[in-house]
Amino acid sequence: MADRVDQAESWVLHTRPYRETSLLVDVFSREHGRLSLVARGGRRPQSSLRARLLAFQPLSLSWFGKGAVRTLHAAEWQGGLRDLAGGTLICGFYLNELLLRLLPPEDAHATLFDAYGATLRALVAGETPERCLRRFELVLLEEMGYAEPLHQTAAGAPIEAERRYCWRPETGLVETAGGDEDGSYAGAMLQALTAGDWSHPAVLQGSKLLMRALIAHHLGAGQLHTRQLLIDLNTL
């Protein structure tokens, strides 16, 4: 049957209650991209799906049907990954929110899928969360075709370590007239970012601001909930 998919490597991004006893599950699968599945009876107390459809756990999912919402019929836990715990949980929610907001449905992105898994594993292993997130954001923007050329200016000039640059929507990187203009980035930071060298704290700090600007531009209207949550928690 053409409308049947068996044992697709997947991650659960989000689950919501659906009708009386079912769950609506947003998943990200390696071969089929992001899609919505209904887990029938997934909220019944005795449902075996309930304990398996957890975010941040590697799953093998099978589903059938066509249209915007398919029906989940089997979920198997693949194991081998410990839970995201404590502060890294919000990093996981952030990754999921990015995928839900930026990834168009039913668009397979195997590279992004692998990067997602690698990011979760790195977070669980205790790697610096900022480094994991920046790496994932870069892959996401590249895979979405949003990658701005960060190794050269909009005019095509190479980035030089000693100069400073601004990023402008629709244009790209532009060299600043001079001095530490607000919102400008050091050339050395941009060079390290494109080379994937995160060893210097200034690179992490600078790339955080640049990634935030790039992502905000592509998200359009609406704040990221995960970012707002952290801001609100800090005021308590």
Partner 1 sequence: MNATASDLPEPLAALIDGLRALPGVGPKSAARMAFHLLQRDRSGATRLADGLRGALDRLIHCERCNSFSEAPVCGLCASPRRDARQLAVVEMPVDLNRIEETHGYSGLYFVLMGRLSPLDGIGPRELGLERLIRRALDGVTEEVILATNYTVEGEATAHYLGELLKSRGLKVTRIARGVPAGGELEHVDALTLAQALVDRKNY
Considering the complex, state which of residue 19 and residue 212 has its C-beta at the smaller distance from partner 1. 19
- Beta carbon of residue 53, minimum distance to partner 1 (angstroms, whole number): 10
> Do the Cβ atoms of 71 and 40 come closer than 8 Å?
yes
Adjacent-strand bridge partners of 24: 16, 38
Instruction: Report how far apart, in Å, the C-alpha atoms of 73 and of each of 61, 70, 121, 182 are.
Output: 8, 10, 27, 53
Q: For residue 52, state whether it binds partner 1 (rule: CB under 8 A).
A: yes
Considering the complex, state which of residue 8 and residue 90 has its C-beta at the smaller distance from partner 1. 90
Give me the 89-128 binding string for partner 1, x by CB under 8 A, dash otherwise: xx-xxx-xx--x----------------------------
d(Cα 131, Cα 122) in Å, to the nearest integer? Answer: 10
Q: For residue 48, state whether it binds partner 1 (rule: CB under 8 A).
A: yes
- Beta carbon of residue 153, minimum distance to partner 1 (angstroms, whole number): 36
d(Cα 132, Cα 203) in Å, to the nearest integer? Answer: 13
- Beta carbon of residue 142, minimum distance to partner 1 (angstroms, whole number): 24
* Ramachandran region, residue 107 (left: φ > 0; alpha: ψ -120 to 50; beta: rest): beta
What is the 3-state secondary structure of 89-156? HHHHHHHHHHHHHHCCECCCCHHHHHHHHHHHHHHHCCCCHHHHHHHHHHHHHHHCCCCCCCCECCCC
Q: For residue 170, state whether it binds partner 1 (rule: CB under 8 A).
A: no
d(Cα 121, Cα 81) in Å, to the nearest integer? Answer: 7
d(Cα 125, Cα 146) in Å, to the nearest integer? Answer: 29
Rounded to the nearest angstrom, the gap between the alpha carbon of residue 209 and the centroid of all alpha carbons in its chain is 16
Among 87, 149, 169, 201, indicate the residue that binds partner 1 (CB under 8 A): 87
Sign of CA dihedral 98, 104, 106, 107: negative
Q: For residue 55, state whether it binds partner 1 (rule: CB under 8 A).
A: yes
Q: For residue 194, state whether it binds partner 1 (rule: CB under 8 A).
A: no
Q: Which of residues 61-80 bind partner 1 (CB under 8 A)?
A: 77, 79
Number of residues that bind partner 1 (CB under 8 A): 37
Which residue stretch of 14-22, 122-130, 152-160, 173-181 sits at the interface with partner 1 (rule: CB under 8 A)? 14-22
Considering the complex, state which of residue 79 and residue 178 has its C-beta at the smaller distance from partner 1. 79
Q: For residue 14, state whether it binds partner 1 (rule: CB under 8 A).
A: yes
Q: Which residues bind partner 1 (CB under 8 A)?
A: 13-14, 16-17, 19-21, 48, 51-52, 54-57, 77, 79, 82-87, 89-90, 92-94, 96-97, 100, 225-226, 228-229, 232-233, 236
